[in-house]
Chains A and B, each alone.
Chain A
Amino acid sequence: MRRSPSSLLVGGLRRVARALASPRDPGDYLDMFSPLRPGAALRGRITSIVREPTGAVTVTIRPGKDWAGHRPGQYVRVGIQVDGVRQWRAYSITSPGAERTLTITVKPVEGGVVSNHLGTRARVGELVSLEQAAGEFVLPDAVPPKLLFVAAGSGITPIMGMLRGHADALTDVVMIHSSASERAALFGPELRVLGEDPRVRLIERHTDTQERLGFDELDELVPDWTDRQAWVCGPAAMLDEAEEHWAEAGIEDRLHIERFRPVILGDPEDGGEVTFRVSGRTVDAPGDRPLLDVGEESHVLMPSGCRMGICFGCVGSLAEGTVRHLRTGELIETTEDPVQIQTCITAAAGRCVIDL
Chain B
Amino acid sequence: MTQTIAASATSGTTTTSHNLTPEQIEELGRELDEIRDDIMSTLGARDAAYIRTVITVQRAIELSSRAVLLFSRVPAAWVLGTAGLAVAKTLENMEIGHNILHGQWDWMRDPKIHSSTWEWDAISPAKQWQYTHNELHHTYTNVIGRDNDLGYGIMRVSEDQPWTLYSLIQAPVNLLNAAFFEYGIALYDMEALEYVEGRVEKDVFVGKAKEAARKLGRQVAKDYIIHPLVSGPNALSTLTATFTANMLRNLWTHSVIICGHFPEGVETFETDSIEGETRGGWYLRQMLGSANISGPYLMHVMTGNLSFQIEHHLFPDMPSNRYAEAAPRVREVFDRYGLRYVSGPLHKQLGSAWWKIIRLSAPNHDPDRTRLETITNAVRESVRGLGGRLQSMLGRGR
Contacts and interface: CB of A to CB of B under 8 A. Distances in A.
A279 B116 contact: yes
Contacts of A86: 108-110
B109 A85 contact: yes
**Which are the 4 A-B pairs with shortest beta-carbon distances?**
A84-B48, A299-B106, A23-B119, A83-B44
B109 A16 contact: no
Contacts of A84: 43-49, 107-108
Nearest to A82: B45
Interface of A: 16, 19-20, 22-24, 28-29, 32, 81, 83-87, 278-279, 296, 299-302
Given A19-B226, A20-B227, A85 B114 contact: no
Contacts of A85: 48, 107-109
Nearest to B125: A23
A296 B218 CA distance: 33
Contacts, number: 68
Contact of A301 (B44, B66, B111): B111
A13 to B, nearest CB: 11
A313 to B, nearest CB: 13
Interface of B: 43-49, 56, 59-60, 63, 66, 103, 106-112, 114-117, 119-121, 215, 218-219, 221-222, 226-227, 230
A84 B60 CA distance: 22
A299 B44 contact: no
A302 B116 CA distance: 11
Contacts of A301: 106, 109, 111, 114, 116-117
Nearest to A19: B226
A226 to B, nearest CB: 47
A81 B45 contact: yes
B110 A22 contact: no
18 contacts: A19-B226, A20-B222, A20-B226, A20-B227, A22-B219, A22-B221, A23-B119, A23-B121, A24-B59, A28-B59, A83-B43, A85-B108, A86-B109, A279-B115, A299-B106, A300-B116, A301-B109, A301-B117
A279 B109 CA distance: 12
Given A16-B226, A19-B226, 13 more contacts: A20-B222, A20-B230, A23-B215, A23-B218, A24-B59, A29-B63, A32-B59, A84-B48, A84-B108, A85-B109, A86-B110, A299-B103, A299-B107
Contacts of B215: 23
Nearest to B109: A86
